[in-house]
Amino acid sequence: MRVAVIGGGPAGLYFAILLKRDRPDAQITVTERNSLDDPFGFGVVFSDQTLDAFATADPVSYRAITDNFAYWDDIEIHVRGSVHRVGGNGFCGCSRRSLLMLLHDRARSLGVELLFNRDAMPEDFPDADLIVAADGINSAIRERAAARFQPRIDLRPNRFAWMGSTRPFDAFTFFFKECAEGIFIAHCYQYEPGASTWVLEMEPETFRRSGLDQATEAESARFMEHVFAEELCGHKLITNRSLWRQFPMIRCARWTDGNVVLLGDAKATAHFSIGSGTKLAMEDAIALHRAVIGGGTVTESLARFEHGRREAVEKIQHAADVSLVWFERVRRFWPMHPTRFAFGVMTRSKAISYDGLAMRAPDFVKQVDALFAREAAGNGLPGDTRRPPMFQPFRLRGMDLANRVVVSPMCQYSAVDGLPTDWHLVHYGARATGGAGLVYTEMTCPSADARITPGCAGLWTDAQEAAWTRIVGFTHMHGSAKMCLQLGHAGRKGSTRLMWDGMDQPLPDRNWPVMSASAIPYHPDSQRPRAMDRADMDRAVAEFRQATLRGERCGFDMLELHCAHGYLLASFLSPLTNIRTDAYGGPVENRLRFPLEVFDAMRAVWPIDKPMAVRLSATDWADGGISETDVAAIARAFADHGCDLIDVSSGQTVADAAPVYGRMFQVPFSDMIRNETGLATMCVGSITSADQINTILAAGRADLVALARPHLVDAGFAMRAAADYGVTDMACPIQYEYGRDALMRSAGRERADLLELRRRVRPKSHAATGGDHVR
């Protein structure tokens, strides 16, 4: 087998080593454009998990690497005069030059041919069976065959530069420093005695105000020495092609072209804030080696590599995306208490959670819990430092919630002519006695033609009012949960089939007329709505007002207006569905006008001591849709009119939207609204565990967390979570107390067993393997 590797970085070298070791007869050549003595950069970082992979893949090079690394367990976060140290992380750093020299030695010992000062392209190797394009982030091979690889390059706005120093560190350290020009960030770690990496980062506005856009390499170093003079402790910054750059997030639709395969940064990049791109590159090499020695033709091997490796790479890239955005928006989090800020740094990529930190850094999590409890106590509530965030109380106007867990509004499509049935009594009654602090109704309609489907619940008749009064009375009698009535109008998405018969599909018969901000149907085959006129608006306002009065008589504790998901009021807010040319269309303040009229009419008759919320779609997931600036303005406007909480959702505005799903995928929108506007928020969307709830709350990304599907199959979700965290005083119907008490007793043992299992399956520490254990 003849193999040409173009690019002599860690990815190409490591693949060559692994393949030559297992296929001694293979002819492998590695070409590198730079000279042997020209490695750029400072240090690289590997986690314990990555070192485990190296130990398995090639013990010889693993031992060489670990004999030359600096190891540390801790991450240290410096912000506004506060220092937080979080242990149990397990990283090592080593010199990039040393790593390359070690890999060179290993490759030569196996018989790999290394050629330096050699620019190469695939056509230079006409006899090669396999060509590995490991030519880096600016891959000429990838760009020349762009039609095949289909790269997408997202150039991120922050500026960064790699520099070095002789300043020692005993932890991976983040410095956050505010100066007149803005906020400066330094990502620092020691990679060998007397040598540390400093990755310096800032927002583009800070970069320009600092004059660094006009500075030379040496001038940049001197300026950053001044910024971080205290942190450098008298040491200087060292440059090595330390140019200011913007990070390119690179993704390729395909990784192969015939017998050519992209490897490392050539095919995909991951932001430096989650570790070294070298880690991703060398793990790529391991995966490609495994695919090649798995047998079959080169084409089959490359297909196996791409199929088997893509998901892992995309997960790493997603974590990197989330992490880099946190640093891009650091100003949003700057006003936070330093403990919350530090927790946000640790959990920014979703790779580390509240429970994970509680296991590795229990003292730090106790500080987080204490902060949360103090804030609750500061609002006149009984904060308890022994409770995790999800079980701290929360107050909205005169309504006190026992905890932050919310049963999300979920349409049941089981009403008869808008009338809630026994199904609703059982559904809401079970969840109100299951431990959640707040239970939402499904979207309840103020008139028959406001319904989405014939099975939607309503509140426009005396019989419906009596049915809801029965439900609310039951929940109040048997549980401590508060009840929130969500009112909404389907608009152009009305007169459709039950969800399980064809969601958003028009009824086959007995349709009712629908209306919207503009006469645009949801689907091409949907009923065309009429554009609302003033008479339509007046009638809708009156219906919402009347339903609000009925809701108060039912005994609901809280009221929410649904302005999301493309329904009637949302159709006014989004420029995709509102093309009006009158006073209700155009700029966001006009698009807001009618939803605010409805809200004002409801607020005027809703008791002053009871809170009101508004549900918003924070993005349409479609080009030309609602903007982040629009959403912040809309949230502020509702707050100015008496809204107490923004219920943050997204999408469902247009049928051709392209949402990006994932764990907690809507939390960033709640984060934006809460921390840009200062308003209380509730988040929802693919949140499935108590650990996720605590992570969201502790990081200050929401005030309440709503769960939908988990509550469908487990009405006692919050009760079980309380037992897991040792919160034993949960309110419970007297009929169920024996069950609650038994759950509390068994849960403590089960949680202890689970924590022990997690400790056992954690990657082993490589601190004692070799090298310099930094302390």
Residues classed as catalytic:
567
Percent composition of the chain: helix, strand, coil (DSSP 3-state, to 5): 45, 20, 40
Report which of 262, 221, 249 is spatially closest to residue 131, judged by C-alpha positions.
Answer: 262
Please name the amino acid found at residue 635: A
Can you tell me the distance from the alpha carbon of 220 to that of 205, in angstroms, rounded to the nearest whole number? 16
Tell me if 460 sits within 8 A of 418, measured CB to CB.
yes
Q: Which helix (H) or strand (E) holds 294?
A: none
Report which of 713, 719, 653, 704 is spatially closest to residue 674, judged by C-alpha positions.
Answer: 704
Handedness of CA 355, 361, 362, 365 (dihedral sign): negative
Can you tell me the distance from the alpha carbon of 238 to that of 162, in angstroms, rounded to the nearest whole number? 9
User: C-alpha distances in angstroms, 648 versus 4, 344, 634?
Assistant: 52, 20, 12
User: C-alpha distances in angstroms, 418 versus 40, 193, 580, 644, 684?
Assistant: 69, 73, 31, 28, 26
Q: Which helix (H) or strand (E) holds 99?
A: helix 96-110
Locus of tokens 């983040």: 174
Tell me if 718 sits within 8 A of 430, measured CB to CB.
no
Report which of 572, 579, 576, 567 is spatially closest to residue 624, judged by C-alpha positions.
Answer: 576
Can you tell me the distance from the alpha carbon of 633 to that of 672, in angstroms, rounded to the nearest whole number? 12
User: C-alpha distances in angstroms, 468 versus 72, 132, 483, 658?
Assistant: 59, 67, 11, 37
Please name the amino acid found at residue 744: M
Our measurement of the distance from residue 737's CA atom to the centroid of its chain's CA atoms, rounded to an integer in Å, reads: 38
Q: Put residue 509 in one of left, alpha, beta given phi > 0 → left and psi -120 to 50 → alpha.
A: beta
Can you tell me the distance from the alpha carbon of 357 to that of 371, in angstroms, rounded to the nearest whole number? 16
Tell me if 40 sits within 8 A of 192, measured CB to CB.
no
Phi, psi of 484 (to 5 degrees): -115, 125
Tell me if 561 sits within 8 A of 488, measured CB to CB.
yes
Report which of 530, 613, 518 is spatially closest to residue 574, judged by C-alpha positions.
Answer: 518
Strands, E assignment, 166-255: 172-179, 182-192, 195-202, 237-238, 245-252
Compute the half-sphere exposure of residue 439: CA atoms within 13 Å on the CB side of its CA: 30
Q: Which helix (H) or strand (E) holds 653?
A: none
Report which of 309, 274, 273, 275 is spatially closest to residue 289, judged by C-alpha positions.
Answer: 309
Taking each continuous run of H as one helix and of E as one strand, the counts in the chain are: 28, 30
Can you tell me the distance from the alpha carbon of 406 to that of 391, in angstroms, rounded to the nearest whole number? 11
Can you tell me the distance from the alpha carbon of 650 to that of 564, in angstroms, rounded to the nearest whole number? 7
DSSP string across 406-455: EE--------BTTB--HHHHHHHHHHHTTT-SEEEPPPBBSSGGG-SSTT
Locus of tokens 């982040």: 628
Per DSSP, helices labelled H in 329-361 are: 330-333, 338-347, 354-360
Please name the amino acid found at residue 194: G
